[in-house]
């Protein structure tokens, strides 16, 4: 097994695990963006959200919901940024779905998710909406 996160899930690599369930494991990031930076991963290997079994995705997001508040409380954070890099083009470096819970403080100099993009759509919004609805019904 070569996937780093699969090896953590299997207990082959030590990690600072903060929570575990039948379908997820949550542990501290070893290269944290802030104190309390937690990664929540499904126990089954899947590279992208859309490839996940719906029950695994449900369990993953329930775990994120369960962990967000206690993580903030534990480190005295004012908020948190919760994010997923989904695919190579996003900078996802480990091809195993993982959700970042990054505690945040007022004045921490980190931006919102909006700061990583240049504003502006390339296609008319109605065209994009129609394309998404069409893909959903396919």
Return averaged pLDDT per consecutive 10 residues of the chain, 138 residues in all: 93 97 97 97 97 97 98 97 96 96 95 84 90 93
Q: How far apart are CA 72 and CA 96, in angstroms?
A: 25
Domain range annotation of the chain: 4-137
pLDDT, tens only, 26-65: 999 999 999 999 999 999 999 999 999 999 999 999 999 9
Main-chain dihedrals φ then ψ at residue 136, nearest 5 degrees: -65, -35
Question: Residue 137, Cβ neighbours under 10 Å: how many?
Answer: 6
pLDDT of residue 44: 97
What are the residues facing 104 on neighbouring strands? 79
Q: Which residues are catalytic?
A: 98
pLDDT of residue 1: 65
Q: CA distances (Å), 110 to each of 34, 49, 61, 127, in order?
A: 10, 25, 24, 33
Running DSSP on this structure, what letter comes out for residue 135?
Answer: H
- Tell me which CATH homologous superfamily contains domain 4-137: HIT-like (3.30.428.10)
Q: How far apart are CA 42 and CA 88, in angstroms?
A: 18
Q: pTM of this prediction?
A: 0.93
């Amino acid at each position: 097994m070569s996937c780093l996160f699969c090896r953590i899930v299997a207990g082959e690599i030590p990690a600072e695990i903060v929570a575990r369930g039948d379908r997820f494991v949550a542990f501290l990031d070893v290269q944290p963006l802030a104190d309390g930076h937690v990664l929540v991963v499904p126990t089954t290997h899947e590279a992208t959200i859309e490839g996940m079994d719906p029950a695994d995705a449900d369990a993953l997001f329930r775990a994120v919901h369960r962990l967000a508040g206690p993580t903030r409380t534990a480190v005295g954070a004012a908020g948190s940024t919760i994010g997923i890099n989904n695919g190579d083009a996003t900078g996802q470096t480990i091809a195993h779905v993982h959700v970042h819970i990054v505690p945040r403080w007022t004045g921490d100099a980190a931006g919102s998710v909006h700061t990583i993009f240049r504003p502006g759509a390339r296609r008319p919004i109605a065209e994009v909406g129609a394309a998404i609805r069409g893909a959903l019904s396919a």
